[in-house]
Structures are given as structure tokens and as C-alpha cells.
Amino acid sequence: MIMFPALSFIATLATVQRPTLSPAVKQYVTVDTPVVALTHVRVIDGTGAAPKEDQTLLITGGNIVALGSARATKVPDGAQTMDLTGKSVIPGLVMMHEHLYYPTGPGVYGADYVSFSRLYLAGGVTSMRTGGNVGGYADLNLAAAIKAGTQVGPWIDATAPYVNGPSPFTQMYALKDSADARRFVAFWADAGATSLKAYMNITRAELAAAVDEAHKRGLKITGHLCSVTYREAADLGIDDLEHGFFVATDFVKDKQPDVCPGQNVGMTALGTVDAKSPEFTSLVQYLVAHHVAITSTLTVFETFTPGQPMPTGTDLLDPVLKAQFDQLYARVQQSTTSPFGKLLALDRSMELAFFRAGGLLLAGTDPTGGGGVVPGYSDQREAELLVESGLTPLEAIKVCTLNGATYLGRADRVGSIAVGKQADLVVIDGNPAVTIGDIAHVTLVFKQGVGYDPAKLIESVRGKVGLF
């Protein structure tokens, strides 16, 4: 029989202090008691292992302190007991390409700090990286406020503003040279940013300086690249590359060094490559050998692909923004010349090949493009798309949980379900290990052992998403 752990063990775990939640946060909380027992629940632990049926999971001090069969695990007196028969629990999602802004017009993004942070949590995202920042200090301040318990949302790995060369985006700084890139990274690291993202028009020299400065400070750097190829970025020590292989310019013939040939040119060249070809296999092997992760963001490309379903969650958008996306979706569905049908299928096969080759595949959603990528909903959809790409449901859940935690260096605390880890958990009505679509049936989200009501979080922003 698994007994309730000794008090000395509980005291050790409690050194990771939970914040005192403000009244503004508490209104979304439905479970916050010293000891919580989830009984008769199916546990999908995030490691890829087979689910364990009819389990009891005990939470105290924000941590998992016991886990075992319901028959053999004693529930301590005074615990809040929740019978979860027929339900599953998975680790909180750890998503790696998220944003705190939404497209409001061509090349223009509006800040969504309140609505997005609530929707991410409601969808089961308990940890996330902002894969690019157009809000400057605001992103860093939100991350700090959530950590302090004054705002509701996931734990945030806050990237600095984009590390980029000249660009058409008015919300981005244009680097002058490699010395400027080093200064830029140092400035934002000192300001509190915890990761960096290089963007399309950075040069190799600037990227090399940014990578070096980030690594000196113990930070990681990812990239949505164009002017620099994936192979060049691997040589320079980049940690991660965004958007699967959609934006790789490695296959553009006669590509000029440090020049972005245009994203459309890059995707056209990619479309001529087979996922089983020697040239692509060689690139995958090179990335794996250089320990470069790849972040899948299938959800944003799905919005440009004819024949794909209407994204969920768009009913929460501000009415003007919803109408704007509905028009885009209608145009996409009517298109007979869109290259994305072929490209989406190709990238999915390439991501699968990278994963099967032993690469660290991460998951994100990228709520940009023409809209329609709504936080929480899109994170659940990303898991579905990974399964449609050829991963098993258990593999897709691992990509969306433990893989992200591993990249962030936080796998000792989050990303999987085990005694001693933080109680970041998602309660699901159904069995996503068999039917991945059940991942959308979230009934409760625990973050540091506090249970949040997804329905309340969602309703608080209905009709306002894209505005604040």
C-alpha cells in the first residue's frame, strides 16, 4: 500500500513557494485546498508511456506527493477528494511558440495580455514561451505578474523583442551590425527577458553575436529565419528553429549569403524537395547532430490551407476581427491555386522525419498570420495535427509537454506527471491516449496545485479577444 508521504518530504517540496493569489485571480479558482486527491483517474504521464488506469494522485503544497492505484493509495483525512472516473489527467501543456498579440491589420498586431493569458490557461497550457515580442517590457511585466499571483495565466518564458535586421514591421528594431546585436541581447537580458528570438533579416554575423551573448548569459535563442539557412544557423550554435521546415531557405538555388530571398521563394524551393531525399535527410542529420530543436506550428499554416476545418475559438474574437478572419477563411477555401495544400502535407512529413530521427520536436501555435489562431484552442489543435502527421497520441502529448519542458531546462519540475514534480495538470473528459481530439475536453486545469475553471476563464473574454 502507498501511504501518504512523511511530513519531512512534504516540507522539502514546499520550498518551491506558491504565490499568494490576488482576488482578481481567485475568481477563476475552483480548487485551492491544502490537500487534494484525484481518485479513479486515468494518468497519461507525458513520457510516452502507456496510460495507468484507476489511479489516485495526491497534491499538497502545489506538488504531486503520491501517485498509485486507487485501490492501494490511501487518501488522507481532510483531503478534498475528486472522483474522476472516466476522466484522464495529462501534464500541463508546455507550448513553445506562443504570443501575446493578435493581427489586427496588415503588418499590425494588437496586444492581448489579458485575454490570451486566460485562454492559454483555459486550454491546458500551464507553461509557454513567447516566440517573439512586440510589447517590449509589457511581456516581461506580465510574466512577473503571473509569477507573483496578481494576474492569471501560464508560467511564461518571456522572449525579448525580435533580434532582426531591417523589416517592414514598425514594432521591430533594426540591428546595425554584430556589435549592436550583442548590445541588444545584453540590454534585454538585463531587463529580464529569459530567451531570445532571431528573425528573418538578421545576418550571420549578427546571429553569431546574438547566440554568443545569449549563451554567455545562460539563455537560449531560437529563430524564424530566412536570410540565414538552417544549416548555417546550426553552425552558429542556435538552439531552436521555428515553423518546422516551412521557412527553411536551405533549398533555394543560388541563395545569396545574408539575404532573405523572400518567404514565398523559400517555400517554393522547399516544395521541390522530398522528405525522403538525401538532401533533406542530410539536413535533418545535421540538425540532430548539432542538438538543434525544431518547433512545429502547424496551426498557423492550416489557416492558409484549403480544405482544413474552421479553427475553433474564433467565436470569442472581437466581432470586427471575427468578420475579418471569416472573410479570409472563405477566400482560402475558394482558392484553386494555393500552394499550402502541398506544403502543409510536406512539412508534416518532414517534421515526422525529424522526430523519428531522434530530433527534439517542440510544439507551438503562432497566433499571427491572418488570424484565426486562438490561444488554448489552437494548442489543443496542434496536438491533433501532430497525430494527423503520423505521431501516436502519446507521442504528440509528449511533444506538447515533456519535450518543451526539456528544452526549457525545467523537466525536473514540469512536463510530466511524477511524485515530486509540480502539480501542473489538465483534467480531460475522455481518453486522449486513444482519441487525441479529447484533449479539447478540458474540465479543470491545475497550476501549482491550484485548480482553475476553464469555462469561467473563457467566458471572461468572450467577444473581446484581439482587443486586450
pLDDT, tens digit, 9 for 90 and up, residues 117-168: 999 999 999 999 999 999 999 999 999 999 999 999 999 999 999 999 999 8
Name which of 209, 270, 198, 202 is nearest 236 in CA terms.
209
Query: Is pLDDT at 4 greater than 90 in this prediction?
Result: no
Q: Which CATH class is domain 7-91+413-459?
A: mainly beta
Looking at residue 6, its pLDDT comes to 36
Looking at residue 79, its pLDDT comes to 96
Q: Which CATH class is domain 93-408?
A: alpha beta
Query: Is pLDDT at 13 greater than 80 in this prediction?
Result: no
C-alpha cell at 288: 540532430
Q: What is the pTM of this model?
A: 0.95
Region 206-234: mean pLDDT is: 98
Looking at residue 137, its pLDDT comes to 95
Q: Which of 99-108, 263-272, 326-335, 383-392 has the lowest mean pLDDT?
A: 99-108
DSSP β-bridge partners for residue 66:
58
CA 368 to chain centre: 14
Query: Is pLDDT at 318 greater than 70 in this prediction?
Result: yes
Q: Which residues of 77-115 are buried (b: 16+ CB within 10 A; e: fewer)?
A: eebeebebeebbbbbbbbbbbbbbbbbbeeeebebbbbb
**pLDDT-based confidence at residue 16 (cuts at 50, 70, 90):** low
* % residues pLDDT > 90 (the chain): 93
CB contact set of 232 (below 8 Å; sequence gap of 6+): 204
Task: Enumerate the CATH 3.20.20.140 domain ranges in the chain, comma separated.
Answer: 93-408
Query: Is pLDDT at 10 greater than 90 in this prediction?
Result: no
Query: Is pLDDT at 14 greater than 80 in this prediction?
Result: no
pLDDT higher at 98 or 104: 98
Residue 141, Cβ density class (10 Å: 0-12 exposed, 13-18 middle, ≥19 buried): middle
Asked whether the beta carbons of 16 and 77 are under 8 A apart, the reply is no
Task: Enumerate the CATH 2.30.40.10 domain ranges in the chain, comma separated.
Answer: 7-91+413-459
Q: Which residues of 407-416 are buried (b: 16+ CB within 10 A; e: fewer)?
A: bbebbebbbb
Distance between CA atoms of residues 87 and 129, nearest Å: 28
Looking at residue 171, its pLDDT comes to 86
